[in-house]
Structure 1
Amino acid sequence: MLEVTHDREDMVQALLSCQADVNLQDHDGLWALRLACHHGNGGLVRLLLAHPACDSSLTDKGGQTAQMLGVTHDQEDMVQALLSCQADFKLQDHEGLWALMLACHHGNANLVCLLLTHPAWYSSLTDKTRLMDSSQGGHTALMLGINQDQEDMVHVLLSCQAEVNLQDHNGLWALMLACHLGNADLVRLLLAHQACDSSLTDKYGEHIDNDNDDDDNDDKEN
């Protein structure tokens, strides 16, 4: 790990050739591959991934993988290298966050598109965090894109068959979230999707018409 931290690729190569344990972790759960990603050393990342014993599914104490770190730091070349080595990008940390969700959160459209090209991507993953004040988790990457008004992200996710009707722990789903936020462009985009179900209700029995009624009442009062 020390040689990785100091970007000594020749030393790392020598240690690997002598059967050094590539997956050994320190007290914080850090290991060689994660450190190489953290330091942005693409050569070391590829060298470590080429080792047959390298485990790309390891996590630190926070449940973060090397994949998540690469996405968080917008390191597209690192993410590409991990994808080519069949790293599991569906792994989630202790808050239920995963690589695609993090890419959406950081607004990196290139990384989102890159991750969506992976044949094993899964659109039904949900987090455990609070997206809105009244929400308790269970959000998809699509919901996050809507919450952040990232229309390009939403469009890309929908084109890759993201689950448009999944509901969070309060029964909130993509279309209702867009209505709550008053984003007419996103509402139209979602309604144009053939799988969008506008008849859904949340856990309190609220539905899309309730939002429209509230808007009508506001207009009358004004």
Structure 2
Amino acid sequence: MDELDDAGTYFDLGPRKITSTGTYHYMCTRNNNFSNRSQKGKLIVSDSLLASDTIDSQGGAITMTGSSSPTSVVVPPGALTAPVYMEVWELKSTEYTIKTNPPHSDLISDVMHLTPNGQLTPNGMQMKVSMKVNENVGPLYDVTVYRSTDGTSTWVQLESSKSGTGMVSFQTASGGHFVAAKSVAAGPTTGLVLGLIIGVILIILIAVLIRKNRLTLSGYGGKI
């Protein structure tokens, strides 16, 4: 059986132009029929924004550049016990939702992927994350952030707060996939409904009073 190990000891493939995003695999057939891991590999090409850094026990921050409202992750001192290489990706939600079941139908942000996945701070200390949203959310809406460790259909709702600068802030001790969605706020909606009900009641009362006054005046007119 041919073990595909007849290639020379050196081969230069030369540069290759990549014209689209995707995952590209490469391999070499030299030596021990693929048993050497260094002979195989893959290239992942993406048009998503990426920021990365190695953060240790002194803490630090990773900030996405190229935006007036950059996404950032702040790690407080003492949260990590050893250096950790971390990456922050911004994945387009319109492309990402094709591959997974989104947690909400009204997403207002890209999908932020913070790596490594899973628990990052051994002592449970929270990292502060500020994530950019793609639209200004008015007072009638709440913003909710969801996290999924592996980016599948299992999402966990996180406590978050929105600001008027196109950002939403939340805290997490874990890496994974994060996305923001908007929903109608309970408080303003309740107030609006109550206001409409009170308005309808007032209109009915006014109509009843007007009708009653007309009948009273009509009765007096018959006696004069």
Scaled by the length of structure 1, what TM-score is found? 0.32
With the length of structure 2 as denominator, give the TM-score of the two structures.
0.31
Greater Rg, structure 1 or structure 2? 2
1 or 2, which has the higher helix percentage?
A: 1
Q: Which has the higher strand share?
A: 2
Larger relative contact order, structure 1 or 2 (CA cutoff 8 Å, min sep 6): 2
